[in-house]
Structure 1
Amino acid sequence: MIFFNRTQITAVLLFLFSLMFFVYAEDIKEYGEVSPEYLNMTVYPEDTSAAAIRIFDIGLIDLRYESRLEVVFTRHFQTKILKEKGKEHANVAISYWHKDHVTELDAQIIYPDGRKIKVEKDNIFDEAEKGRYKVKKLTFPNVEIGAVLEVKYEITGKDIYELEPWYFHQSIPVIESEMIAQITPGFIYMVKKENDSNRLIVESKDKYYNRFSQKWDERYRYKAENLPAIKNEPYISSLKNYKANINFQIESVQFPGYYQVFIKDLQTLCNRLLEEQYDDFKKPGSKVKELVESLVTSDMNTEQKSKVLFEYVRDNFDYKSGSGIYPQKDQEDILEEKKANDTEKNLMLMVMLRAADIEAKPLLISTTDHGLANPEIPFLSQYNRVILLVNVGNNHYLFDARDPWITYGQLPPTSLVKNALLVEKDNASFLDIPNVGLRSISIIESNLILSGSGKLQGSSQILAIGYGSRDYNSDLYEHKKMDKLVQEELAAHLDNFTVTESDSNLKAAPSDTFRTAFSFELGDYAELIDDEIYLKPGFYLGRNKNIFISEKRVFPVEFGYKRKTIETNYYTLPAGYAVTEFPEEVIIENKYFRYQRTIIPVQQNPMIVGFARQFEIKELVAPAEDYSIVKNDYAKIVDADQEIIIIKKGK
């Protein structure tokens, strides 16, 4: 949220109190009414695969002053269930700021025969807070195909600075989506439209009745119609990047005899952020100084000091839920509680680095899952994480200590975004975040013995570097033991797979390199037909189906970072058996990735067959116009991964 000092807020409230200003908000859609066209619909003609459609989705923002200044957000929508899968929309979650209140909530099922069943309080409940947000959930009972689910709710709050954002696209087709902004005259808002290159959002004005002035004032309407579904697909950083949306941020308040500017430019916002939110982290307090003095020594160079402090902050502050760019505690409280959210953790690292005379400055980013930030628009709500720009030996590095498995010098994958906003007094600017070179390598090498009954036993060694190491350590922490990690991650798709030996003492720890080994048995893996064994030689990393299933794609394929995976297997054949024919080498390569698969006899021992599979992502993004290349080549990879070798007895 935007922040302003108490004097500014009090001045606005006192002035408005003298006006006793209030407005009347009319219903836009009548609750309980469904067009016969949609009530009787069985298939949506524009997308016959749609399991459900949003008939309409109407939002109304009403900034008003009755007994007090408040913002009332009303949302009203209807969802038509067309197929069995559409019933998942019977579960509705309403997320809202922790200081706001859901003041009204109505929901009902409307059946094709006209019956209406109200959702009772037993089906409405509150979920635990997620960070600084609350969630209210409701479940529609007895949902049938053909039914219309209707929800209308009202949220009341006091935050006049950033009004409720509105997303026009949904995961299902939307017939009509509209946001109406009904703003008390005198409040001026900056409006930001995003992801509307096709000009789907139509702006208009109409009148609403102001009962104080007894006249009709203007309100603003933003409407889009016949919107296709925006569904999650492989390699998408955030669907927010592709949903048309609109945001409102206060710019000024202007009344006769009163004028207050809240947003002048991005530099003004950054200066306020430093003064009003980050001021406590500007200089280290006595306790921070004492801590830093106990961690670093005078004989350490700048790199050694920064590494010690980075690892201390990463490892010694428990994660506290909550994200965003605003700290909730000061440095002293964080030290005492040893708990911090993402932003607090990095601000603590900043002030500790400064205590060691190492230059560190805050940067704002929008993480990959939060959506792209637009540098041309001064909206701080675009950003959700603070990272650091640190001067180490006259070289600048980016630090983000929030991920417990990231090593010194790395950024977490979610922080690998295009650019960052440097928050510096009178010198705000944007910096590019480099994302070059291979960031992840994962290698699995196995020695296997194939029995005449089709069973396998053997051992595998894992070597992972960079993000590959990070991912293995994260999985190991989650699964506690290495045998469970292998069983539930690497071999989850393999029936009758049993880990017989592994490093039970291996513990998750941040490291640039992850190494381990394990032994296993795999029963009935190869298929026996008469005197032949049918064996698929690649079984850890191979793909069984194409993950790219859509015929067309309107947004790019975002790989995130460059990586390589390698699987190598050496099979010792049962006595008296030999491969009837070795398949040709397969190489599939385009601009975005390269795949190579080889199956050959080992020259030193004809009873051993070698299998090698390599897959490398070479580019960060494949544009939508090249989706067919990505999809078709990936299908070829799936085919190559299904290659079977025939091992025959007596040859």
Structure 2
Amino acid sequence: MTIDNNFMLGKNFYILISLVFTSTFLVAQNIDYGKVSKEELTQGFSSIDSTASAEYLYKYRKTYFNYVSGVGFSLITDVHERIKIYSKEGFEFATKKIRLYKDGNEIEDVNKLKAKTYNLIDDKIEETPLKKEGKFKIEISENVNEESFTMPNIKEGSIIEYRYSISSPFIYNIDEFIFQHDIPVKKIEAFFEAPEYFVFRMNVKGFMNVMPKREQFNKSLDYTQRVASGGTTSAGAGQGLGRTTQVRGSVKYMNNVISFDLSDIEPLKEEPFVNELRNYRSGVKYELSYTQFPNSNKEFYSRTWEDVVETVYKNPRFGDELKKKNYFKEDLNVIIKDLTNIKEKVNAIFSFVKSKVKWDQSYGKYTKQGVKQAYQTGVGNTAEINLMLTAMLDFANLESNPVLVSTRSNGMPLFPTREGFNYIVSSVRLNGDIILLDATSQNSLPSVLPIRALNWEGRMISKDGKSTIINLYPTSKGSIQTFQNISLSENGTAVGKIRNVYKEHQALSFRDEYRKNKQESYLNQLVDKYDGIEINNLEVKNSNELAKLPIESFDFTTESEIDVVSNKIYFSPLLFLATKENPFKQEKREFPIDFSFPFENISTSIINLPEGYRVVSIPEAIAIALPNGMGSFSYAINNVGNVLQLKVSKKINYPVIPAEYYPSLKEYYSKMIEKLNEKVVLTKV
């Protein structure tokens, strides 16, 4: 790179009056907008996945830097996408949603939008352009807007096409380049261009073998700069220094280009027990590592997790808010004045925050209105509630620190990035252990975080601004203990009573579900869950008393679980509680199986046989185990007189099981389901 001696190129790019980029490199698209063919319109299914409801025929994206005199650099992203709709299920892809970030007066904008729907009518291509009434704009949060549009005249067989540009002032925040979707992609062209002054780190995610092409091209910028000129005038020496002179020059530099040319990309299909499927989709994420302008030092951005944590902690809407305590001192002193036991203090403060401030359903690692106002209004976001909780625990002389978290919906922060965290929980040291707390959830308990926050690891920030990795997954099992007493009749009817006792995360899940519905609505859900059985006398205890385990009980009648054939009765002992279908159907799996938390479900049943019948056969006892102690299943049934006694135990000992154990897990579930559905055979005496 060479620099004209009259031009000092540094952070003060704003001094430029005019700036023109010239380049030896142009990005050409293989597919032109508006050039849809009859062959594309008559295509009846995807050659990549014949079951697909829609398909990206083409995806183009180019992200690059632009400079505007007096404003500075901005980030431009050009998008062009063409989608084929194969069935009504694919109509959802006719709506495009674009997230736009904002911070104060700095706002991302969409411009140059063009969009059309194409249909083949009487062997002629009919074009329907997007109209104004198909465009929408809403505010998602304080920092996010959403612009969307819905394409008109959609039918099975339609093709939709659109292109637009996004202008962003946030040059450090490059949206992820997404290569894999839940529908197939025929072709992708993607380009990222950055001047040599901006050094980005490229992070590749997913399971596709993606090979970028790297190139460098000479670019130059021509500039006009006004500089002060000296000299004397007839009025005397030293006067005339206010004059300025235009200086023209040019700067040559290298432009770094990374490109991708991909074809025939299979869809990422939904599978059970996945922690947010999009976490595993193939793509590339760029993060600004540092900038270095001519004649300037390097300015580093997020390079390590410590850099990230320091940046977050120094933000006044985080670190400063954590230090505020005067607003709650008087009230909290009343709450804890007679408490000497540490655990009692923790529970009392935790309960106080949950009762004092309700969650406004918005995420954030930074406060919006501030902890004091949230305390006064009784409403706050995640940061306000859990920073407040942390400050109160600290005020009570307990060792407490905030923990940065990325929720499941936000994805896993695989690489050091400030944008990776969107949530806060609190931590406290109790008897040598770190206990995690989240006061946004009315049903949570110490060490029982809501499912949304169970996402691999968090970063606990201490008062010196340093961080420690914290495992967010629980180690204790969530459990359901089921007690069942059943009486069979010779006409094939079963009546009985069920009692379920919930613990840990199973208790949290049960309370969340039960308390958000009225009892009648919850009862209807149970009927649907258990294939239309008749339920009476539903009773739930301790739904609001968090110190006690919630207990659910009800009476039931069913006629669909028992077969009577020629003086014989056939039934599986668990009746409608037996799992009927293996959730794991794929031959192979590339991403982990995420159960959210370890669990143990134990069912004990007493089955009273009808008078005049005896047992012909019962299933054999079985015990199977997953490798490395990851889980186990046991089944034992005994016949004592006119009664069957059944005990079934299902355990998964780890919240996440690596994909390499998928074949073992699939076989384990297959054997378990086969055993659960084996029949007891009775015959009439």
Secondary structure of the 1:503 match is strand
Task: Tell me the C-alpha RMSD between the 2 structures.
Answer: 3.3
The aligned counterpart of 1:616 is: 651
State the Cα distance separating 1:440 from its structure 2 match. 0.7
The aligned counterpart of 2:150 is: 139
State the Cα distance separating 1:170 from its structure 2 match. 0.9
Structure 2 segments unaligned to the other structure (5+ residues): 1-8, 224-249
CA distance in 2, matches of 1:79, 1:208: 35
The aligned counterpart of 2:479 is: 441
Alignment-mate amino acid for residue 610 of structure 1: Q
C-alpha deviations, 1:503-549, integer Å up to 9, x for none? 37764453462223222333454333343333333234322222112
Q: Is the 8 A contact 2:82 2:161 kept in 1?
A: yes
The aligned counterpart of 1:345 is: 385
The aligned counterpart of 1:93 is: 97
TM-score, structure 2 normalization = 0.82
Alignment of 1:293-312 (within 5 A): 293-297=333-337, 299-312=339-352
CA distance in 2, matches of 1:85, 1:201: 33
Task: Find the partner of 1:77 among 81, 87, 103.
Answer: 81
**Residue 403, structure 1, aligned to residue 441, structure 2:** yes
The aligned counterpart of 2:119 is: 111
**Residue 221, structure 1, aligned to residue 258, structure 2:** yes
State the Cα distance separating 1:467 from its structure 2 match. 0.8
Task: Find the partner of 2:507 among 446, 466, 469.
Answer: 469
Alignment-mate amino acid for residue 151 of structure 1: Y
Change (3 A) 1:222 1:610: farther
State the Cα distance separating 1:168 from its structure 2 match. 1.5
State the Cα distance separating 1:501 from its structure 2 match. 0.8
Deviates more, 1:429-438 or 1:541-550: 429-438
Q: Is the 8 A contact 2:177 2:285 kept in 1?
A: yes
The aligned counterpart of 1:558 is: 594
The aligned counterpart of 1:6 is: none
C-alpha deviations, 1:119-151, integer Å up to 9, x for none? 333333345625643333433444344432223
- Structure with the greater alpha carbon radius of gyration: 2
Secondary structure of the 1:75 match is strand
**Residue 380, structure 1, aligned to residue 418, structure 2:** yes
C-alpha deviations, 1:582-634, integer Å up to 9, x for none? 22224343224322333432x2xx33333333211134443333322222332
State the Cα distance separating 1:296 from its structure 2 match. 1.1
Change (3 A) 1:122 1:594: same
CA distance in 2, matches of 1:75, 1:349: 44
Alignment of 1:447-458 (within 5 A): 447-458=485-496
**Residue 271, structure 1, aligned to residue 310, structure 2:** yes
Secondary structure of the 1:31 match is coil
Q: Is the 8 A contact 1:59 1:75 kept in 2?
A: yes
Deviates more, 1:329-338 or 1:538-547: 538-547
Q: Is the 8 A contact 1:270 1:424 kept in 2?
A: no
State the Cα distance separating 1:425 from its structure 2 match. 6.3
CA distance in 2, matches of 1:220, 1:115: 38
Secondary structure of the 1:513 match is coil
Change (3 A) 1:399 1:495: closer
**Residue 546, structure 1, aligned to residue 550, structure 2:** no
Alignment-mate amino acid for residue 637 of structure 1: M
The aligned counterpart of 1:194 is: 204
Alignment of 1:415-564 (within 5 A): 415-424=453-462, 428-433=466-471, 435=473, 437-481=475-519, 484-489=521-526, 491-503=527-539, 507-511=543-547, 513-564=549-600
Task: Find the partner of 2:371 among 315, 319, 331.
Answer: 331
Change (3 A) 1:626 1:397: closer
Deviates more, 1:387-396 or 1:337-346: 387-396
Secondary structure of the 1:162 match is coil
CA distance in 2, matches of 1:512, 1:153: 56
Change (3 A) 1:315 1:84: same
Change (3 A) 1:431 1:527: same
The aligned counterpart of 1:3 is: none
CA distance in 2, matches of 1:351, 1:443: 38
State the Cα distance separating 1:271 from its structure 2 match. 2.8
Structure 1 segments unaligned to the other structure (5+ residues): 1-10
State the Cα distance separating 1:442 from its structure 2 match. 0.4
Q: Is the 8 A contact 2:571 2:681 kept in 1?
A: yes
CA distance in 1, matches of 2:663, 2:525: 33
Change (3 A) 1:579 1:142: farther
The aligned counterpart of 2:231 is: none
**Residue 61, structure 1, aligned to residue 99, structure 2:** no
CA distance in 2, matches of 1:74, 1:391: 49
CA distance in 1, matches of 2:346, 2:297: 47
Q: Is the 8 A contact 2:99 2:144 kept in 1?
A: yes
Q: Percent identity, please.
A: 21
Change (3 A) 1:229 1:157: same
Change (3 A) 1:326 1:210: farther
The aligned counterpart of 1:16 is: 14
Secondary structure of the 1:164 match is coil
